[in-house]
Structures are given as C-alpha cells and as structure tokens.
C-alpha cells in the first residue's frame, strides 16, 4: 500500500504524518490489518528494537474521588464495587513496588486518586519514593497524583521522582463530554509543569469511550505537540457502576489499528500498552507488541490483569525480550534518558491504568465484598463482561500482588 510505505518512511525520519494519513490507518479494513501491523512494526523496531519495557502500578490511595471522569471506577458517584482505602504507608508501598521489580519491572508508577495532591500529600509521596529507591536503587519512579500546583513537580523531582504521568485521555473538543470538574487545558498545564521541573512526561489516551476517529487523531496529535517521553494507550474497561459501563465499542482489530496510528504519529516515543489490553485485545495481545514497546506487568489500579508470568511468557513467545534496568529506553536524539538512580505512564489517569488515577479520597480503608458477575441479560450481545475483574489482591489488601 502506498499509504503504509509513506508512513514507514515518515516514521523512520521522525516526520509527522498528515491527519488524513492517520485517519486512513484507522479506516483500513481487517483484510489489511497484518500489513498495517507489519508497517508500524518496522518503525517500532527502528527506534526500540525488540525490547519491551515493564512497568508496575502501585495504587497508593483508592476510591471516592471528587472528580466526575466518566470512565473512572473511583469517580464521584461511582457504584463500582472496587477496593477503597486511604494512603499506604511508605514501607507498604515500597514492599508492593519491590514485588513488581522482582517480576522484572523497570519502572514503578505511584498513583493516588484525587483531583491533585496537597503539599502534605507531596511530602508523603516523597517519603514513599525515597523508601522505594533505598531498596531498589536503579528503579525508575513515576508519580501520578492528578493536577499539580506551583512547586509540587520540583519537590517530587527533588525527592527522586523520574517521571510524572497525566493523560489527556480524549480530544479537547469532546473533553467536556467525559469530565466536567476539570478541563483539557488543566491537564495540559500539569504536563507542562512536570516537564519544566525536569521530570520525564508521560501522557496518553483512553480509546473506546464512544469517540470518533477524528477525536482519536486529535488527541494523538495533541500528544505529539506536548512531546511526552511515554504515551500509554488505554482501552476503556467498562466497569459496572460507571456512566460508560455499556460502552463496548472495541474489537481486537480496532485496538491494533489505534496502536499503529499512535506509533506512526509518535514514532520514537515509548508507546505503552496499558489498561484494558486483556479485555479488548485478548488473544491478539502478542501482535500488539509489534506496535508498543512497553506494557504494564500484572494488575492495574482497580482491575486485575493477566498473571505476571503470563506477561513474561507472552513476551518471550512473541520473540521479544524484557528491557534491562541498565538499558536506555529512548533513542539518543531524545536527550537524557530516564534513569532510576538519577532522581516514564503509565499514567488516566493512573500512569496508564485508566480505571483510577487522578481522582481522590481521604476515607478510611473499608472491606469490600467480592464482585458479583454481571447477569447475562444485562450485557450486550458478544461483549466479554467476564474479563472485567475488580482487583482484590496486592496494595490495600492482605493478599500477595500479581507481579
């Protein structure tokens, strides 16, 4: 295809495709899907070889957020039956992070629900970062705490944070349809604050919320303009009890086309396969590794992922290798790489795990009963509600984490 030849040439030169070209990728038929994956895979291999970076989420504080993000299981008014607990202590968070590092994670993403941190919260997270780095000197630490105010990014950087995540999630034109308690511009401002403080910016999107192809291209072009080092691509997890519970709009094929479009628009950026991959890509996940060079290991914020060992087996079986702690992630022309000892997202919210970040509560921990399956008659034909599993292990529980 002339389209794919042109996109590969542009990706190898780090040249921005046109909007029409990006839209054409999303419109390609399923019969040409493998051609699209192969073409975008050439661009991925040019800048990242066959390496896969592993990231691990630690949900520092879960539930009862005052924001109204429609996709989020922790939002104001959410009826989702998720874990709810207040801040983990630094040693508890460090223990959870250690499980991810032991499983092969190069980056730990510290996420807390809430509109944004107070200065006291920043102090608390700073102590947590220090505790994690005391035990794992080379690990990268990304914070995802919501909207930042003056000086907070600098304080996180001084404490040893390497990166900050704050996703754009959707296009500026449709942002008000998803969230009303803050704006698209607020999110852009926080990414700029992180970059100005010397933190590696992590910012991405959520697909599957009912958006158009034009919306998807708009948000990815907006990300290209922001120039984050990592772009987590989330696929909506339609939690029962949230406004988007019935939005089952994705197929594995569409997910792959979205990832390919992101790779063509952001050729030399860490593209992270994030929340919802198990739900929507299912058995096609290995193909996505030809497009994304980064994934989350194990569970997400409020939902469970596939077993950590299954992630490692998938990477090996697909012919890829886990990126080592001492290996540079980003191409040299992108400047100084993130280094865990120098004190990337992801993360919708949530350093890439969209079902919870940047929303908040100071409520005490509560016990949560086991989630009940969605009755078959309430689910739309063909959707896999059985794949949406609420997290019941790891941070905030007495059960070991999945890593």
Residue 242 — left, alpha, or beta (φ > 0 → left; ψ -120 to 50 → alpha)? beta
> Catalytic residue among 144, 202, 255, 347, which?
202
- Is 359 designated active site? no
> Catalytic residue among 51, 72, 157, 277, which?
72
> Catalytic residue among 51, 75, 107, 142, which?
142
Sequence-distant (≥ 6) Cβ neighbours of residue 211 within 8 angstroms: 170, 171, 174
Distance CA 73, CA 82 (A): 7
- Is 109 designated active site? yes
- Is 187 designated active site? no
> Catalytic residue among 44, 75, 107, 109, which?
109
- Is 255 designated active site? no
- Is 202 designated active site? yes
> Catalytic residue among 44, 65, 157, 277, which?
65
- Is 347 designated active site? no
Full 3-state SS string of the chain: CHHHHHHHHHHHCCCCCCHHHHHHHHCCCHHHHHHHHHHHHHHHHHHHCCEEEEEEEEEEEECCCCCCCCCCCCCCCCCCCCCEECCCCHHHHHHHHHHHHHCCCCEEEEEECCCCCCHHHHHHHHHHHHHHHHHCCCCEEEEECCCCCCCHHHHHHHCCCCEEECCCECCCCCHHHHCCCCCHHHHHHHHHHHHHCCCEEECCEEECCCCCHHHHHHHHHHHHHHCCCEEEEEECCCCCCCCCCCCCCCCHHHHHHHHHHHHHHCCCCEEEECCCHHHHCHHHHHHHCCCCCEEECCCCCCECCCCHHHHHHHHHHCCCEECCCCCCCCCHHHCCCCCCCCCCCCCCCCCCCCCCCCCCCCCCCECCCCCCCCCHHHCCCCCCHHHCCECCCCCCCCCCCCC
> Catalytic residue among 44, 51, 69, 144, which?
69
Buried b (16+ CB within 10 A) or exposed e, 361-394: beeebeebeebeeeeeeebeeebebeebbbbbeb
Confirm if 170 and 247 have CB atoms less than 8 A apart.
no
- Is 142 designated active site? yes
Return the active site residues: 65, 69, 72, 109, 142, 202, 272
């Amino acid at each position: 295809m002339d389209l794919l030849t042109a996109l590969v040439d542009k990706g190898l030169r780090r040249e921005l495709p046109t909007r029409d070209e990006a839209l054409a990728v999303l419109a390609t038929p399923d019969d040409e899907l493998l051609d699209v994956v192969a073409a975008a895979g050439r661009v991925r291999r040019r800048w990242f070889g066959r390496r896969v970076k592993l990231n691990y989420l630690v949900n520092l504080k879960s539930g009862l957020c005052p924001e109204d993000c429609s996709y989020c299981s922790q939002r104001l008014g959410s009826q989702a039956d998720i874990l709810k607990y207040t801040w983990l202590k630094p040693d508890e968070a460090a223990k959870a992070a250690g499980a991810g590092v032991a499983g092969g994670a190069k980056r730990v993403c510290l996420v807390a629900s809430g509109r944004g941190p107070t200065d006291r919260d920043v102090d608390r997270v700073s102590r947590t970062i220090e505790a994690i780095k005391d035990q794992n000197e080379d690990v990268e630490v990304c914070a995802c705490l919501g909207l930042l105010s003056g000086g907070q990014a600098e304080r996180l950087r001084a404490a040893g944070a390497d990166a900050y995540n704050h996703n754009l999630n959707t296009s500026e034109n449709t942002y008000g349809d998803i969230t009303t308690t803050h704006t698209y511009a607020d999110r852009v401002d926080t990414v700029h604050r992180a970059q100005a403080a010397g933190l590696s910016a992590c910012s991405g999107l959520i697909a599957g919320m009912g958006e158009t192809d034009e919306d998807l291209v708009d948000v990815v072009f907006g990300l290209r303009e922001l120039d984050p080092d990592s772009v987590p691509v989330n696929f909506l997890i339609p939690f029962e009890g949230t406004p988007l519970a019935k939005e089952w709009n994705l197929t594995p094929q569409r997910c792959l086309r979205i990832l390919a479009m992101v790779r063509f628009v952001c050729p030399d950026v860490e593209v992270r396969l994030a929340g919802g991959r198990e739900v929507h890509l299912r058995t096609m996940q290995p193909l996505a590794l030809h497009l994304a060079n980064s994934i989350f290991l194990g569970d997400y914020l409020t939902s469970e992922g596939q077993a950590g060992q299954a992630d490692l087996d998938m990477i090996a079986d697909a012919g890829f290798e886990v990126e080592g702690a001492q290996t540079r992630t980003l191409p040299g022309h992108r400047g100084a790489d993130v280094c865990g000892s120098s004190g990337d997202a992801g993360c919708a919210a949530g350093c890439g795990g969209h079902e919870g970040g940047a929303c908040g509560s100071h409520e005490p921990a509560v016990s949560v009963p086991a989630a009940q399956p969605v009755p078959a008659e309430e689910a739309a034909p063909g959707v896999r509600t059985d794949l949406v599993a609420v997290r019941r292990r790891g941070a905030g529980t007495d059960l070991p984490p999945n890593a």
